Structure 1
Amino acid sequence: MASKSTPHIDPKGEEIAETILLPGDPLRAKFIAETYFDNPRCFNEVRGMYGFTGTYRGHKISVMGTGMGIPSISLYSYELIHFFDVKNLIRVGSCGTIQDGIDLYDVVIAQGASTDSNYLTQFGVPGTYAPLSSYRLLEQAKRIADEHGQRCHVGNVLSSDIFYNDDPDALGKWAKMGILAVEMESAGLFANAAAAGVDALGIFTVSDIIFAGKHTTPDERQTAFTKMVEIALELA
């Protein structure tokens, strides 16, 4: 049964849809709702982490910011899953690629999420757990991207706890293992979803080519971000 509120989410009677988009930035959540939703209604403002519910092409959908890093998205995704009955959680954000052949503005769809985080130890798995996305959502997202003519790549990403790494060789080691890009949240989201038996996916716009030192501007990121969001919205 859905909860009325938690310490971090207080909908004040507003509904949270079974499908939710999860950008890190709460202001991006607000932008998505105001740009794409019909009749958006704010369901959360606790700690400035905005959440909205509306409809997109007649389908009910929500969006909510999660903050940065595995601890933050894991807290919000746990509450959304276990207290508000959310079934499909789609992370949308930016990433930095560490592979040749992936360009700025390309879309990366995370099939799996490796990590340097200690978050997964809580599940007590007697080995190394590999967090994967929902194949159902992944297959649909790839089809939608192809229909939109959006250049995209599907594979393993790195959900790192470290933005400024003291080890200059760390990312090269991950690149050697075929990691497509680096972000900071998906492994926690995928693990929470798997443990609860619900679906999760990560879709990213490439904002940086890390080894080449190429970066997008904030304005350019906003334009590229909308293409990724439109793919995610179609999953509703």
Structure 2
Amino acid sequence: MTSTSDDSEDPNDEIGYHIEVGADDVADAVLLPGNPERVDKITALWDEHDEVAYHREYRTATGTYDDAPISVTSTGIGSPSAAIAVEELARVGVDTFIRVGSCGAIQPEMAVGDLVITTGAVRQEGTSDEYVREDYPAAADGEVVSALVAAAERLGYDYHTGVTMSADSFYAGQGRPGFEGFEAAGSDALVEELQDANVKNIEMEASSILTIASVYGLRAGAVCSVYANRVTGEFRTEGESRAAETASLAVKLLARMDEVKREAGADRWHAGLSL
């Protein structure tokens, strides 16, 4: 029988095997866009930054936003690669994760360019199932949700809060036709069923990020720009910088929340504590 080692694919305990960053490279809070090209758009909003790693789809930069330490790591498309980022960032000390991305809205009143702040997610992806039983909730951390809402309010951006659905595929899993018009079983009713359940939007990473962070006792949330409304048929790549700015300001507010908690001797920030 061949023995195995947990370190067989990670010979350096101090540097993530895929993301190639260590504890000194990143802040405690990290934004998680999918597209590596979004890193430049996010860091353009910060006071200053340095790129610290770029390996595969994982591009990482660290800097400050309004004097608050902050990092960003791109995750690529989908939950499997997002889970790797969360795992390896957690191992070097990151405790707060905010997904920053784009999504399709499925409620008619939601406009292209609006923001969706996720409070919980439907786990229609397989990655989180490999961590915990399927009826375990994908819930956003309350402090992160509060910080994102406060940030959107301060910035004057239109936003919605609610449940997100995370899928494993862009086409069949989101009720879109595949090659040559292929339709997956049940895809014709998928969006309508989600609408009836008051789900706000569809994307591909949030539920795994929320679930894994929750299992590990870490903070996580998500804010996405609406690129498409699946009900009205409207599509524009709009609002990307709003999501990035909202998430960056949320990190600043979370840092303040943590200060207030320490001053008050509280374990959790709540509405009775001032920001």
The two structures have a TM-score, normalised by structure 1, of 0.90
| Residues 1:77 and 2:97 aligned together | no
| Residues 1:67 and 2:87 aligned together | no
Q: Which runs of 4+ in 1 moved over 4 A?
A: none
Specify which of 100, 108, 114 is matched with residue 108 of structure 2.
100
| Residues 1:144 and 2:159 aligned together | no
- The answer on whether the counterparts of 2:95 and 2:218 sit within 8 Å (CA) in structure 1 is yes
What CA deviation, in whole Å up to 9, does each residue of 1:27-74 have, x standing for no partner?
1013322x1233311121111521100111111110110011111101
| Residues 1:56 and 2:32 aligned together | no
What CA deviation, in whole Å up to 9, does each residue of 1:149-169 have, x standing for no partner?
211111001001121122222
Specify which of 90, 100, 114 is matched with residue 98 of structure 2.
90
Runs of 5+ unmatched residues, structure 1 = none
Equivalence map 1:1-236=2 (5 Å)? 3-11=13-21, 15-33=25-43, 35-81=44-90, 83-125=91-133, 128-165=135-172, 166=183, 167-216=187-236, 218=237, 221=238, 224-236=239-251
Question: Comparing 84-93 with 8-17, which one deviates more in the overlay?
Answer: 8-17
Aligned length: 227
What CA deviation, in whole Å up to 9, does each residue of 1:101-142 have, x standing for no partner?
1111111000001022223333343x6122000101101211
- The answer on whether the counterparts of 2:166 and 2:202 sit within 8 Å (CA) in structure 1 is yes
Larger Rg over CA atoms: 2
CA distance in 1, matches of 2:57, 2:76: 10
Amino acid aligned to 2:120 = G
- The answer on whether the counterparts of 1:115 and 1:160 sit within 8 Å (CA) in structure 2 is yes
Runs of 5+ unmatched residues, structure 2 = 1-11, 173-182, 252-275
- The answer on whether the counterparts of 2:61 and 2:71 sit within 8 Å (CA) in structure 1 is yes
Q: CA deviation at 1:6?
A: 2.0
Structure 1 pair 153–48 and aligned structure 2 pair: CA distance change class (3 A): closer
2:37 aligns to what SS in structure 1?
helix
Structure 1 pair 110–13 and aligned structure 2 pair: CA distance change class (3 A): closer
CA distance in 2, matches of 1:89, 1:212: 32
1:26 aligns to what SS in structure 2?
coil
